[in-house]
Chain A
Amino acid sequence: MDTAQLLQPEAEMDAADAGAFVAGAIAGDSGAFEQLYRQFSPRIYGLCLRMTGQREAAEDCTQESFIAAWKALPRFEQRSRFSTWLHRIAVHTVLSRRRGLRNLYEIAEPATGLPEVSDPGSGSPPLDIEQAIANLPDGARHVLVLVGIYGYSHAEAAASLGIAEGTCKAQLHRARSLLTAALGLEEK
Chain B
Amino acid sequence: MTEPARNSLDAQLAKLPRDISPPRNLWPGIARSIERGGLRGAHRRQPMAWAAAAAVAGACLASALTWAVLHGRPVAPIAPIMAAQPSYGDVTTARYVAARNSLEHAFQQRLPLLDPATRAKVEASLATIRKAHEDIRQALIAAPASPVLEQLWESTWQDEFDLYEHVVQATQPTMTRT
B-binding residues in A (CB < 8 A): 28, 30, 33-34, 37-38, 41-43, 45-47, 49, 55, 58-59, 62-64, 66-68, 70-77, 79-80, 85, 88-89, 92-93, 95-96, 99, 129-130, 148-150, 155, 158-159, 162-167, 176-177, 179-180, 183, 185-187
Contact = CB atoms under 8 A, between A and B. Distances in A.
Closest 7 interchain pairs by CB?
A: A74-B41, A42-B19, A164-B97, A46-B20, A88-B144, A159-B92, A185-B5
Given A42-B22, A71-B40, A99-B134, A165 B33 contact: no
Contacts of A67: 30, 33-34, 37
Nearest to A173: B1
B13 interface: yes
A180 B9 contact: yes
Contact of A166 (B2, B22, B42, B94): B94
Contact of A92 (B30, B35, B140): B140
B105 interface: no
A187 B1 CA distance: 9
B12 A41 contact: no
B140 A180 contact: no
Contacts of B8: 185
Contact of B26 (A33, A62, A75, A158): A62
Contacts, number: 143
Interface in B106-160: 134, 137-138, 140-146
Contact of B12 (A33, A80, A165, A183): A183
B44 interface: yes
Contacts of B101: 164
Interface residues of B, number: 48
B24 interface: yes
Contacts of A177: 1
Nearest to A65: B141
Nearest to A42: B19
Given A62-B26, A75-B41, A176-B6, A30 B34 contact: yes
B87 to A, nearest CB: 16
Contacts of B37: 67, 70-71
Contact of B145 (A49, A85, A129, A158): A85
Given A89-B141, A176-B9, A166 B98 contact: yes
B35 to A, nearest CB: 8
B176 to A, nearest CB: 37
A183 B4 CA distance: 13
A39 to B, nearest CB: 10
B34 A180 contact: no
